[in-house]
């Protein structure tokens, strides 16, 4: 093992983290242990390590959020990140790859094997690196997504067929199938289901502006929506500047809470709209709890109608579809 290698270990379980730290230090590694995601980002920003080993369920910014932030920050973009996931968390693996994980490993991880995994983190990331990607640091997440898309097409054509090339989310045709599938489950088992459409309030200014800037904004929004979502949720890019979320086992109140967080995050990013104004987004929601919608198509239509109403009524707001809301929107 090479000496001088530095590691930031993010794990909320103190006993487990102390055992891992001791094993790594016995192998000649310099380890900084953190118990929250915010602490990991602070330590990495102060002194970027060679490797960050992250438990996905970190408090105060989970592992996905920390991973994405590290890869987007020019100071920490070269830090190799290993993310530790549950053994059967396939959706988490997809999300981790989208956010830029160099190595994904399944729990449980024996402490005596962790040092070799850290060394392998660097070796494996080098093996899978895409040398055709423009190394310009300012491209950040966009370059990472392009590299991943190229690997996805070569390694799994099916994934390439159902995902959006720009963001790595599901594409619109595949999302239609998922909506129909989840709607059947919801109706059969009488479980709640919600759809959320998210769109920028000033989409005209975006589409007429710089294409490179638009790509960067869409990639960043895709990342923050992934961080807000759960393993059971489905996300897609519907058209140039709109996103769609399918939320199983979620009623209108839960969908509204999630949508509000996303809109606040978009506004907080400080994207520039027309004449330098802060760009905002709105969200429309439709729900099924047993009787509201007759079909998945009707549910999707109502969701977009609610988004249209939110924009019409001033933007930067969340509207849940109702017959009264739709009547007011048409007037």
Q: Is the pLDDT confidence value at 296 over 80?
A: yes
DSSP-assigned states of every residue in 13-28 = -HHHHHHHHHHHHHTT
Q: How far apart are CA 174 and CA 194, in angstroms?
A: 17
Q: Is the pLDDT confidence value at 139 over 60?
A: no
Give the model's pLDDT for residue 331: 63
Q: How far apart are CA 323 and CA 296, in angstroms?
A: 17
Give the model's pLDDT for residue 128: 40
Q: Report residue 247's pLDDT band, with 50, 70 and 90 as the boundaries.
A: very high
Interhelix angle 90-99/140-155, nearest 10 degrees:
130
Per residue in 209-218, pLDDT (tens digit) is 677 778 888 8
Q: Are strands 318-320 and 281-288 parallel, antiparallel or unpaired?
A: parallel
Q: Is the pLDDT confidence value at 144 over 80?
A: no
Q: What mean pLDDT is reported for the chain?
A: 80
Per residue in 172-211, pLDDT (tens digit) is 888 988 999 999 999 888 899 999 999 998 766 666 667 7
User: Quick one: which of 253, 240, 234, 241 has its CA closest to 300?
Assistant: 234
| Stretch among 47-51, 124-128, 151-155, 161-165 having the lowest mean pLDDT | 124-128
Which residues sit opposite 236 in a β-bridge? 170, 244
For each of the domains in the chain, give its residue range(s) and CATH number, in order of start: 6-129 (3.40.50.2300), 172-330 (3.30.70.270)
Per residue in 77-97, pLDDT (tens digit) is 889 888 888 877 777 777 777
User: Quick one: which of 35, 70, 54, 99 has its CA closest to 228?
Assistant: 99
Whether 123 contacts 29, CB under 8 Å = no
Q: How far apart are CA 225 and CA 259, in angstroms?
A: 9
Which helix (H) or strand (E) covers residue 61, if one does? none
Q: Report residue 165's pLDDT band, with 50, 70 and 90 as the boundaries.
A: confident
């Amino acid at each position: 093992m090479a000496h001088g290698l530095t590691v930031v270990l993010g794990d909320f379980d103190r006993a487990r983290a102390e055992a891992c730290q001791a094993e790594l230090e016995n192998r000649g590694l310099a380890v900084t242990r953190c118990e929250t995601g915010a602490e990991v980002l602070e330590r990495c920003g102060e002194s970027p390590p060679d490797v960050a080993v992250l438990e996905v369920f970190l408090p105060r910014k989970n592992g996905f959020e920390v991973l994405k932030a590290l890869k987007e920050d020019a100071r920490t973009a070269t830090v190799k990140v290993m993310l530790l996931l549950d053994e059967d968390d396939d959706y988490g693996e997809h999300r981790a790859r989208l956010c830029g994980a160099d190595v994904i490993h399944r729990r449980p991880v024996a402490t005596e094997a962790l040092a070799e995994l850290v060394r392998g983190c660097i070796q494996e990331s080098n093996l899978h690196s895409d040398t055709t990607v423009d190394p310009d640091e300012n491209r950040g997440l966009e370059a990472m997504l392009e590299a991943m898309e190229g690997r996805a097409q070569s390694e799994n054509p099916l994934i390439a067929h159902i995902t959006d090339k720009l963001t790595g989310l599901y594409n619109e045709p595949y999302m239609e199938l998922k909506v129909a599938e989840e709607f059947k489950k919801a109706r059969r088992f009488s479980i709640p289901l919600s759809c959320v459409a998210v769109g920028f309030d000033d989409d005209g200014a975006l589409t007429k502006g710089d294409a490179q800037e638009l790509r960067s904004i869409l990639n960043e929004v895709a990342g923050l929506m992934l961080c807000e979502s759960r393993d059971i949720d489905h996300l897609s890019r519907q058209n140039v500047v709109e996103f769609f979320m399918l939320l199983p086992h979620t009623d209108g109140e839960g969908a509204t809470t999630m949508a509000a967080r996303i809109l606040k995050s978009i506004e907080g990013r400080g994207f520039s709209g027309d004449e330098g104004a802060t760009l905002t987004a709105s969200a429309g929601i439709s729900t099924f709890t047993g009787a509201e919608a007759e079909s998945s198509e009707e549910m999707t239509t109502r969701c977009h109608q609610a988004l249209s109403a939110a924009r019409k009524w001033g933007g930067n707001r969340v509207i849940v579809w109702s017959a009264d809301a739709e009547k007011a929107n048409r007037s």
